[in-house]
Amino acid sequence: MKFQSARQQVVEMSVLLADHGYFAATGGNLALKVDDEHIVVTPSAMDYYEMTAADACVLRLRDLAKIDGDRKPTVEAGMHAKLLSIRTDCRASIHTHQPIASACTLLGKPVPVLRAEDRALLGDEVRVVGYAPSGTSWLSSKLAKAVLPDANAYLLRTHGAICCGTSAERALRAISALERLTLDYLRERITARAAQASPQQAALQRLLATLDAQPIQEMVV
């Protein structure tokens, strides 16, 4: 089997992401760059708890030709390939429908990154990529236009998120940091709106803001 250790790593990352609620059912996918010409991606429509290294697909980066693997690659292989082709410093790319960051995409606004440790992982700002349907080259092109050299996290409008990293570990950490960042961002916006609302609305919004939002667990990687 070609690139067996990278394919096994794709399995382990997928299970970790599923265990922590970042991948749900068959939603979410990822890619690892194994050399200058190849990526390994998750297969399409696969239960990640059933997946084995042989199910991961090896693709040629430049044209997505399948080099190894029996299954169909994720429909987002083109988006990962585009990101990893532009960000030649990165080795891993993860796309999720993680709950809070995905909710944040509905606002359509970039999210500033204030904490130094988050900036090191995510960049100074999380940009929003305009809507295009999943799995299309239209979505990949929109992402390509948004990509910056030091920005490792992007919100896909009304869809989800994509993060990249110089290692699998850093991409996983970026996914986790993005969920916490967007939770803080949404909480701040609710509080700010409460300050401008009528007394009754303000009381309701304060109550909402104090309800324990249940962020999915942080990953220890």
Give me the least distance between CB of 108 and Zn ion, in Å please. Answer: 17
- Nearer to Zn ion (CB atom), residue 64 or residue 202: 64
Beta pairing class for 38-41 and 160-165 = unpaired
- CA 75/CA 118 separation, integer angstroms: 29
Closer to Zn ion at the Cβ: 2 or 72?
72
Quote the least distance from Cβ 191 to Zn ion, whole Å. Answer: 30
Q: In the range 171-210, which residues lie near Zn ion by CB under 5 A?
A: none
Q: What is the dihedral of CA 16, 182, 180, 205, to 10 degrees?
A: -120
Nearer to Zn ion, 135 or 206 (CB): 135
Interface size with Zn ion, residues (CB under 5 A): 2
Binding mask 127-166 for Zn ion (x = CB under 5 A): -------x-------------------------x------
Smallest distance, Å, CB 28 to Zn ion?
A: 7
| Beta carbon nearer to Zn ion, 134 or 166 | 134
Least distance from Zn ion to the Cβ atom of residue 110, Å: 20
Cβ closest to Zn ion, residue 43 vs residue 160: 160
Choice between 88 and 134, CB closer to Zn ion: 134
Please state, in angstroms and rounded to a whole number, the distance separating the CA atoms of residues 205 and 110: 23
Residue type (1 letter), 47: D
CA distance 134 to 154: 15
Instruction: Please name which of 114, 39, 133, 22 lies closest in space to residue 84, comparing C-alpha atoms.
Output: 39
Q: Classify 101 as helix, strand or coil.
A: helix
Q: Does residue 123 belong to the site contacting Zn ion (CB under 5 A)?
A: no
Phi, psi of 163 (to 5 degrees): -130, 150
Provide the minimum distance between the beta carbon of 194 and Zn ion in the complex, in angstroms, as a whole number.
32
Q: How far is the CB of 160 from Zn ion (least distance, A)?
A: 5
CA separation for the pair 43, 61 (Å, rounded): 16
- CA–CA gap between residue 80 and residue 93 (Å, rounded): 6
- Interface positions with Zn ion (CB under 5 A): 134, 160
